[in-house]
Amino acid sequence: MNIRKRIRRVLKYKDLYVLLVQRDIKLKYRRSFLGYIWSVLNPLMTMLIMTIVFSYFFKRDIEYFPAYLMAGNVLFAFMRESTTLSMSSVINNAMLLKKVSVPKYIFTLATVTSSFVNLLFALGAFLLVLLIVQVPLSLYMFLIIIPIVELFIFCIGLGLFLSQITVFFRDVKNIWSVVTLAWMYMTPIFYPIESLDPRLARIIMHFNPMYIYITIFRDLAVYSRMSDINILLQGASYSFIMLVIGSWFFRKNQGKFILYI
Amino acid sequence: MNESNVIIELNDVTIRYNIASEKIYDLKEYAIKMLTGKLHFKEFFALNDVSFQIHQGESWGIIGKNGAGKSTLLKTICGIIDPYRGSVKAEGYIAPMIELSAGMDSNLTAAENIFLNGAILGNSRKFMKTHFDEIVDFAEIHKFLETPIKNYSSGMRARLGFAVATIVKPDILIVDEVLAVGDFEFRKKCENRIQELLEGGTTLLLVSHAVNDIKKLCDNAIWIEDGKVRMIGDSKTVCDSYMESGKS
């Protein structure tokens, strides 16, 4: 298919994309008592518990510790949730894929997007925390859109990769939950990176994309400063590379999905 | 027959399924089987070198025993399965009716599902809004629009699915054994709608075991057996041969 045809096909399904995101959001909290308030309450409660536990160790080392903590938590939770849900995105829609011709990646895209909407709610809670902890606000905060968009693209790439491999090997789901657990501990969310051995810290700084996104975000939102240009470029590259990897694997294998779902 | 009006064309289409001797679903088993050399894939050819042409406005029935490859043939025309070898060409807007409640989410209401189902078929939201009342009228579900689909009877679901699928005048209408579901009134409604569409120039592909439906609604028929085209021609001849073979 040439480029114009392909673009037209993609645009043809934009309404479906919106509908799928709306469906996910609607159904998530339908029939629940507090509804969307959970999207704000949950991160707040997590932050509270973690602050109480970890401030014993690190409060003196980190300024505005609750905000520091929550920033990392909220972004990491988005990555974890969007990738975990993405894994099932293709297999959950197996029935549909067997009956109608629909671009297969649309389900993964919609899943990551609805997690993103959740992230936006959590950011509302984050703003509340900033006010409570009396973090000085500044115009730098508007720039948080940069790390957030980079993270979004990163998660789409990762989600695409995971959703296609889960079609063939269902136990990727179990493996992934352990991977994210280890990943979380290797990301300075509730401890400062300075507390690590310098060699380990260097590895994390260069090879942990979550560290990069969280750092850029934290610097802007909590400490009103702009990260080094190197870090910004690294973030963008990771996003781009992940997207390419995820799309490539997805496209390569999508023809075989029908045989395994 | 007009050569320039070919709307569906299959050339040497072969579709292959890999059936692992035991379906392997996790990494551990895959690794073990690979290492011990026990990873066997049986090849199964659902369709084998199938070729034919269908012209615009024609009505074709597809008959054959269970497992002959009829559904696979439809799926490849719809673009759901890509051929392992050969090529498929099908032009225009294809309305697939391979199970009527495809695309419906049982937790959503009928109104929500109309938009969802419509979007899955590639229609814009604006389009669905314009034709919303038409769909509700055809499906006769005025009183139940805000009810979740999971509370619908199978007949209601069938009516809704059929209404949404045929709301756009498709270039190709593909019906896979769905007329078997539904009561007499529903069948009548569907047949009338199909006739309407045929008169409007829609091409029809109908899979059914009810040979009489095929003879009634289709001018032509293809008989698929074991993934190959056994016979192709006008529906009466092909259907009668098929019935004869069943008796012997």
Q: Which of B27, B79, B125 sits opposite A101 (nearest CB)?
A: B79
CB B212 within 8 A of CB B206: no
Q: Determine the distance in angstroms separating the CA of B134 from the nearest CA of chain A, rounded to an integer.
A: 20
The residue ranking higher by pLDDT, A107 or B105, is A107
Low-confidence ranges of chain A (pLDDT < 70): 1, 31, 58-60
CB A226 within 8 A of CB A220: yes
CB A77 within 8 A of CB A153: no
Question: Which string of DSSP letters, residue by residue, matches B100-111?
Answer: TTTT--TTSBHH
Candidate ranges A45-54, A212-221, B112-121, B186-195; pick with highest mean pLDDT: A212-221
Three-class DSSP category at B63: strand
Q: In terms of Cα–Cα distance, which of A138, A156, A154, A157 is closest to A146?
A: A154
Q: A interface toward B at CB cutoff 8 Å? A: 12-13, 15-16, 18-20, 23, 26-27, 30, 95-102, 169-172, 175, 255, 258-259
Q: Which of B78, B108, B124 sits opposite A15 (nearest CB)?
A: B124
Residue B98 pLDDT level (bands cut at 50, 70, 90): low
Distance from C-alpha of B85 to C-alpha of B88, rounded to nearest angstrom:
10
Distance linking the first and last C-alpha atoms of chain B = 35
Q: In terms of Cα–Cα distance, which of B93, B92, B90, B118 is closest to B103?
A: B118
Distance from C-alpha of B26 to C-alpha of B229, rounded to nearest angstrom:
37
Report the chain A residue with the minimal C-alpha distance to residue B105: A23
CA atoms within 13 A on the CB side of A65: 18
The H or E element spanning position B8 is strand B6-20
The residue ranking higher by pLDDT, B7 or B129, is B129
pLDDT at residue number A244: 96
User: Considering only CB atoms, which chain A residues are within 8 Å of B112?
Assistant: 23, 26
The order of strands in the sheet holding B228-234 is B94-97, B172-176, B203-207, B59-63, B220-225, B228-234
Q: In terms of Cα–Cα distance, which of A223, A67, A85, A220 is closest to A149?
A: A220
Q: Do B27 and A15 touch (CB under 8 A)?
A: no
pLDDT at residue number A62: 78
pLDDT at residue number B2: 47
Residue B99 pLDDT level (bands cut at 50, 70, 90): low
Range of the domain at A251: 3-260
Q: What is the mean pLDDT of chain B?
A: 82
pLDDT at residue number A51: 83
The residue ranking higher by pLDDT, B22 or B39, is B39
To test the contact with chain A by mutation, choose from B15, B22, B26 the residue with the greatest count of A C-beta atoms within 10 A, namely B26
User: Considering only CB atoms, which chain A residues are within 8 Å of B17?
Assistant: 259
Q: Is the dihedral of CA A139, A141, A147, A149 positive or negative?
A: negative
**Stretch B148-165: mean pLDDT, rounded?**
82
Q: Determine the distance in angstroms separating the CA of B97 from the nearest CA of chain A, rounded to an integer.
A: 8
User: Considering only CB atoms, which chain B residues are within 8 Å of A100?
Assistant: 78, 80, 96, 98, 102-103, 120-121
Residue B124 pLDDT level (bands cut at 50, 70, 90): confident
B152-186 burial, b for 16+ CB within 10 Å, e for fewer? beeebbbbbbbbbbbbeebbbbbbbbbbebbeeeb
Three-class DSSP category at B49: strand
Q: Determine the distance in angstroms separating the CA of A131 from the nearest CA of chain B, rounded to an integer.
A: 39
DSSP A226: P
Q: What is the dihedral of CA A233, A239, A244, A246, to 10 degrees?
A: 160
Report the chain A residue with the minimal C-alpha distance to residue B96: A100
CB A98 within 8 A of CB A258: yes
Q: Do B108 and A99 touch (CB under 8 A)?
A: no
pLDDT at residue number A101: 82
User: Residue A212, Cβ neighbours under 10 Å: how many?
Assistant: 29
Portion 16-35 of B in contact with A at CB < 8 A: 17-18, 25-28, 30
CB A212 within 8 A of CB A218: no
Q: Which of B96, B116, B119 sits opposite A99 (nearest CB)?
A: B96
The angle subtended at Cα A132 by Cα A126 and Cα A136, nearest 5°, is: 85
- B101: amino acid identity, one letter: S
The residue ranking higher by pLDDT, B176 or B13, is B13
pLDDT at residue number B181: 66
User: Residue A74 forms beta bridges with which residues?
Assistant: none
Q: Does B39 touch chain A (CB under 8 A)?
A: no
The residue ranking higher by pLDDT, B155 or A173, is A173
pLDDT at residue number B101: 61
CA atoms within 13 A on the CB side of A151: 29
pLDDT at residue number B40: 60
CB B58 within 8 A of CB B218: no
CB B36 within 8 A of CB B195: no
Q: Do A169 and B17 touch (CB under 8 A)?
A: no
Q: Does B124 touch chain A (CB under 8 A)?
A: yes
Q: Do B105 and A23 touch (CB under 8 A)?
A: yes
pLDDT at residue number B23: 58
CB B115 within 8 A of CB A19: yes
Q: What is the dihedral of CA B136, B139, B143, B149, to 10 degrees?
A: -100
Q: What does the block give as tokens for A104?
A: 């297969």
Distance from C-alpha of B164 to C-alpha of B120, rounded to nearest angstrom:
11
Q: What does the block give as tokens for B181?
A: 């579901």
pLDDT at residue number B44: 80
Q: Do B81 and A96 touch (CB under 8 A)?
A: no
pLDDT at residue number B1: 45
Task: Check pLDDT > 80 for residue B70.
Answer: yes
Task: Check pLDDT > 60 for residue B22.
Answer: no
A139-163 burial, b for 16+ CB within 10 Å, e for fewer? eebebbebbbebbbbbbbbbbbbbb
User: Considering only CB atoms, which chain B residues are within 8 Å of A92?
Assistant: none
Three-class DSSP category at B202: coil
pLDDT at residue number B162: 82
pLDDT at residue number B192: 86
Q: Beta B203-207 vs B59-63: how paired, if at all?
A: parallel
Q: Determine the distance in angstroms separating the CA of B237 from the nearest CA of chain A, rounded to an integer.
A: 31
Q: Does B99 touch chain A (CB under 8 A)?
A: yes
Domains in chain A: how many in total? 1
Q: Do A170 and B107 touch (CB under 8 A)?
A: no
Q: Which of A18, A27, A171 sits opposite B26 (nearest CB)?
A: A171
